[in-house]
């Protein structure tokens, strides 16, 4: 677009800011015809329309927003009347908050009536009030970089709160006093941490001070909303900066207290840094080991929330298990078991889904297992157990274990890496031979019942678990040997009637064959420290 084009955004500003504006215009070029068309439709109906918020900010940053957000002087009913003949589909699930959505082709838009909300200070839910001008609508937004707009159809750049200057300075500042903004909606403090992680910005000093002073007010925000912001932070390109802000301002004390608790706990392997710094480094290293977003599952395509949560939380059991030894050392015995329980408890409180809770807790529990490998002394049985205990989490466990090495000793780091390389090669060889990803006993539940003459129930479940242990310990030994092993085991069970010579049927509710009810994971073999 040439500078003479009447549709090009125009505003006063410094040379660097005008250059940013020209770059944003070029980035928006593919959607300018759509913006112009919508602006003309609203203008013809007597209403104002402006592109606002994330899409404008992202245009300056060279990022493409998946949706286009607009604000308008039109009421929701008037907005619907303008959009209905233009769109292929429309919806009004956000009507209560003034938002009407529409889709045309591959483009989705949301149009929201100017807002002038008020908050009661007890919840984060606003008392919805519609406004009558763009400037008042922009002042209620979270940060100045999200309070910029383009009036349509003329593409006039509107920036009443100097958002472009803050964008150029890579700074987060609120349109009004931060105390008022965060008092209206404490979730905005979490959003500040998330934007630091996503955009690499810093927060203005007054914003940091307000966050620190008002951190406790995050308690009125629902766990689900906190979870969503925390997830977005962790999935960002650089979560470390956002987590530091979360901890340094005291917000983490209220939403993820296990992380700041690590700051005073000296890691027994790396006494030059505390466990908090170690955990952030493990997170960075785990992110570096993620596969491409379109990679196969075994590459752990990034960003991967389960891996990142496990990397951050894997050592949270250390504060509760720290012991000062008589020789001056420090121990954290069984911190992986304690940490798994703490991780599950915290993630449940934050309303994470069951699969995520279970996966992160399991990775936390298993993250030390490799350290029992030594220089390759594990038997094939122990390797089988390592794979079986990890199950589908094995690719993530590989990456978590490798990331957990943060030593500055180059020789030690190389030795650990080489040893883990050898473990992975052994796993690959055994997987090729035995299909370890789906380890099962050589007899299924129905076959066990036929050999022993018992019905499905708890006793059959014990027999199944015994044969699973045999499978893990000895590998594939053949049906005849397995049946012999099963009969030997059965002869030692009280239910067999071996002492009286009168076999008895097992009790319990009938099962369904195959894997018996009540099957649990086999006990771990080598468990490390």
User: Are 154 and 6 contacting, i.e. CB atoms less than 8 angstroms apart?
Assistant: yes
C-alpha 441/C-alpha 473 separation (Å) is 11
Provide the β-strand partners of residue 291: 301
pTM score, whole prediction: 0.78
Chain segment 169-212, per-residue pLDDT in tens: 999 999 999 999 999 899 999 999 999 999 999 999 999 999 99
* pLDDT above 90: residue 292: yes
Write out the CATH class of domain 15-169.
alpha beta
Nearest Cα to 436, choosing from 483, 371, 373, 382?
Answer: 382
DSSP code of residue 312: H
Centroid of chain to Cα 327? 40
Alpha carbons within 13 angstroms on the beta-carbon side of residue 189 total: 36
Pairing relation of β-strands 107-113 and 68-72?
parallel
pLDDT for res 524: 36
More confident residue, 507 or 180: 180
* pLDDT above 60: residue 312: yes
User: Are 201 and 270 contacting, i.e. CB atoms less than 8 angstroms apart?
Assistant: no
What would the mean pLDDT of 364-383 be, rounded to a whole number? 85
User: Going by CATH, does the domain composed of 179-255 fall within 3.30.420.40?
Assistant: no
* pLDDT above 50: residue 517: no
pLDDT for res 437: 58
What would the mean pLDDT of 17-37 be, rounded to a whole number? 83
DSSP code of residue 123: S
DSSP E strands, 88-144: 89-91, 99-104, 107-113
Token pair listed for 340? 């798994």
User: Are 327 and 253 contacting, i.e. CB atoms less than 8 angstroms apart?
Assistant: no
C-alpha 273/C-alpha 335 separation (Å) is 18
Chain segment 399-419, per-residue pLDDT in tens: 999 999 888 888 888 888 998
User: Are 181 and 174 contacting, i.e. CB atoms less than 8 angstroms apart?
Assistant: yes
Rounded to a whole number of angstroms, the CA Rg of the chain reads 30
Torsion of CA 407, 409, 415, 418, to 10 degrees: 60
Chain segment 245-286, per-residue pLDDT in tens: 999 999 999 999 999 999 864 544 444 358 999 999 999 999
Q: Return phi, psi of residue 166, to 5°.
A: -65, -35
* pLDDT above 50: residue 506: no
pLDDT for res 3: 35
- Cβ-in-10-Å burial (0-12, 13-18, 19+) of 288 comes to exposed
Q: How many separate helices (H) and strands (E) can be counted in the chain?
A: 23, 11
Query: Residue 148 — very low, low, confident or very high, per pLDDT cuts 50/70/90?
Result: very high
Chain segment 333-356, per-residue pLDDT in tens: 899 999 999 999 999 999 999 999
* pLDDT above 60: residue 527: no
> How much of the chain, in percent, has pLDDT values that exceed 90?
56
SS (HEC) of 415-438: HHHHHHHHHHHHHHHHHHHHCHHH
Pairing relation of β-strands 68-72 and 89-91?
unpaired
Averaged pLDDT score across all residues of the chain: 85
In the chain, domain spans: 15-169, 179-255, 266-437, 440-522
User: Are 159 and 170 contacting, i.e. CB atoms less than 8 angstroms apart?
Assistant: no
C-alpha 174/C-alpha 503 separation (Å) is 79
Provide the β-strand partners of residue 101: 91, 110
pLDDT for res 138: 94
Chain segment 81-130, per-residue pLDDT in tens: 999 999 999 998 888 889 999 999 888 999 999 987 655 555 556 666 78
What would the mean pLDDT of 485-512 be, rounded to a whole number? 63
Tell me whether the omega of the peptide bond preceding residue 274 falls within 30 degrees of 0, making it cis: no
pLDDT for res 291: 96
């Amino acid at each position: 677009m040439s500078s003479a084009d009447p549709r090009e955004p125009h505003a006063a500003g410094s040379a660097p800011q005008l250059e940013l504006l020209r770059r944003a215009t070029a980035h928006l070029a593919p959607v300018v015809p759509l913006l112009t068309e919508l602006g003309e439709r609203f203008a013809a109906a007597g209403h104002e329309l402006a592109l606002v918020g994330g899409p404008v900010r992202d245009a300056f940053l060279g990022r493409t927003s998946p949706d286009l957000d607009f604000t308008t002087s039109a009421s929701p009913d008037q907005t619907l009347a303008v959009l209905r003949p233009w769109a292929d589909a429309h919806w009004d699930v956000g009507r209560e908050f003034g938002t009407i959505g529409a889709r045309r082709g591959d483009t989705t838009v949301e149009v929201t009536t100017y807002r002038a909300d008020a908050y009661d200070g007890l919840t984060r839910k606003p008392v919805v009030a519609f406004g009558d001008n763009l400037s008042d609508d922009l002042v209620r937004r979270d940060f100045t970089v999200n309070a910029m707009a383009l009036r349509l159809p003329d593409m006039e750049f509107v920036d009443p709160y100097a958002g472009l200057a803050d964008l150029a300075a890579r700074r987060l500042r609120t349109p009004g006093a931060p105390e008022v903004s965060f008092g209206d909606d404490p979730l905005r403090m979490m959003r500040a941490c998330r934007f630091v992680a996503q955009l690499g910005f810093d927060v203005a000093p007054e914003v940091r001070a307000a966050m620190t002073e008002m951190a406790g007010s995050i308690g009125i925000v629902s766990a689900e909303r906190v979870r969503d912001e925390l997830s977005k932070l962790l999935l960002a390109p650089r979560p470390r900066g956002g987590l530091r802000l979360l901890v340094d301002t005291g917000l983490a004390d209220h939403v993820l207290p296990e992380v700041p608790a690590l700051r005073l706990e000296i890691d027994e392997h790396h006494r030059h840094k505390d466990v908090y710094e170690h955990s952030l480094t493990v997170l960075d290293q785990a992110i570096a080991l993620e596969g491409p977003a379109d990679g196969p599952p075994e590459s752990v395509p990034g960003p991967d929330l389960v891996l990142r949560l496990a990397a951050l939380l894997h050592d949270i059991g250390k504060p509760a298990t720290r012991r000062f030894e008589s020789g001056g050392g420090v121990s954290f015995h069984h911190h992986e078991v304690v940490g798994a329980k703490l991780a599950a408890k915290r993630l449940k409180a934050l309303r994470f889904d069951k699969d995520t809770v279970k996966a992160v807790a399991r990775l936390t529990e298993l993250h030390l297992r490799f350290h029992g490998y030594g220089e390759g002394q594990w038997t094939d049985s122990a390797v089988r157990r390592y794979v079986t205990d990890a199950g589908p989490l094995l690719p993530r466990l590989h990456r978590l274990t490798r990331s957990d090495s943060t030593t500055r000793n180059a020789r030690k780091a190389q030795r650990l890496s080489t040893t883990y390389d050898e473990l992975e090669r052994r796993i690959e060889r055994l997987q090729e031979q035995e299909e370890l990803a789906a380890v099962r006993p050589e007899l299924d539940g129905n076959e066990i019942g036929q050999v022993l003459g018992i019905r499905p129930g708890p006793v059959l479940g014990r027999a199944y678990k015994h044969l699973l242990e045999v499978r893990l310990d000895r590998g594939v030994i053949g049906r005849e040997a397995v049946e012999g092993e099963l009969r030997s085991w059965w002869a030692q069970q009280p239910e067999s009637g071996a002492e009286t010579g009168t076999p008895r049927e097992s009790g319990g509710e009938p099962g369904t064959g195959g894997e018996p009810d009540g099957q649990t994971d086999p006990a771990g073999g080598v468990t490390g420290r």
